[in-house]
Amino acid sequence: VIENEMNAVTDNPLIFVDEEKAISAGNFHGEPLAMAFDYFGIACAEIANISERRIERLVNPHLNKPLPPFLAKWSGLHSGYMIMQYTAAALVSENKVLAHPASVDSIPSSGNQEDHVSMGSISVRKAKTILENTRKVIAIELLTACQAIDFREQKKLSPITQKIYEKIRERVPFIEQDEIMYPYIELVDMLIKDEVFDPWLEI
């Protein structure tokens, strides 16, 4: 879609020098891009939604047996990963609001000459925010999974999972007591953004 739009003629009027013609066409509607980025945002929002549910199952004491409540070494004294799940849930909820398609809206402008507009710029900006939120949710899931792995007596992992675990543990330690977690989320978010894990995930 982007390639088609980049190679499209969207001027008004269209000037054909060789034929000495000028055609008023108004071919500058960006709806294809707007809809593509709206769909992209919806898909990313769903990925984050599913990821957060896995986080919940890892920390919820009613669902994560035999792991400790909220993956806290001293549960009751420390919160463990409870607040991390709060953060993931907040990002997912924000994504759900942002996933409403901008392309279904339109406000006439330019004296009603431009009577239907694509809202493409809003679609792109929303999609960017949703993508950033989704990366952070996945970063939280990876951190939560690493914490859960460290509580397991049997730590045998698949080769790919082992590589991801080791890469994260190079930067983020096992959490023994409550501390500020935001820097750890940012560290893993950057690993995802920089595509550090991608070579191991290729099928």
Dihedrals phi, psi of 132, to nearest 5 degrees: -65, -40
Statement: residue 11 has pLDDT above 90:
no
pLDDT > 90: what percent of the chain?
A: 70
Q: Residue 81 has what pLDDT?
A: 96
Evaluate whether residue 135 is within a structural domain: yes
CA dist 54 and 48 (Å) reads 10
The rounded distance, in Å, linking the Cα atoms of 92 and 85 is 10
For residue 63, give its domain range: 30-103+117-193
CA-CA distance, 178 to 185, in Å (whole number)?
15
Phi, psi of 9 (to 5 degrees): -95, 115
Token pair of 118 as six digits: 């694509």
Q: pLDDT tens digits for 154-187?
A: 778 999 999 999 999 999 999 999 999 999 999 9
Number of domains comprising the chain: 1
CA 115, CA 87: separation in Å to the nearest integer?
41
Any domain includes 8: no
Helices (H), 152-173: 159-169
Q: What percent of the chain has pLDDT over 70?
A: 99
Can you tell me the mean pLDDT for 117-131? 93
- Mean pLDDT within 187-196: 97
CATH number of the domain within which 66 lies: 1.20.200.10
Q: Give the integer Cα–Cα distance in Å for 86 and 73.
A: 19
Within-domain flag for 25: no
Taking 90 as the threshold, does the pLDDT of residue 2 lie above it?
A: no
Domain assignment present for residue 201? The answer is no
How confident is the model at residue 98, as a pLDDT? Answer: 98
What pLDDT score does 54 carry?
Answer: 98
- Looking at the domain assignment, is residue 139 inside a domain? yes
pLDDT digits (tens, 9 = 90+) for 34-71: 999 999 999 999 999 999 999 999 999 999 999 999 99
- Please say if the pLDDT value at position 113 is more than 80: no
Is residue 111, in this structure, part of any structural domain at all? no
Q: Mean pLDDT, the chain, as a whole number?
A: 92
The pLDDT confidence band at residue 203, using thresholds 50, 70 and 90, is low
Q: What is the DSSP letter of 194?
A: T
Q: Do the Cβ atoms of 197 and 161 come closer than 8 Å?
A: no
Q: Does 16 map to a domain?
A: no
Cβ(28)–Cβ(10) under 8 Å? yes
Per-residue pLDDT band for 110 (boundaries 50, 70, 90) equals: confident
pLDDT at position 190 is 98
* pLDDT on residue 193: 96
149-158 mean pLDDT: 88
Q: How confident is the model at residue 196 (pLDDT cuts 50, 70, 90)?
A: very high
pLDDT at residue 27 in the model? 67
Contact 135, 166 (CB under 8 A): no
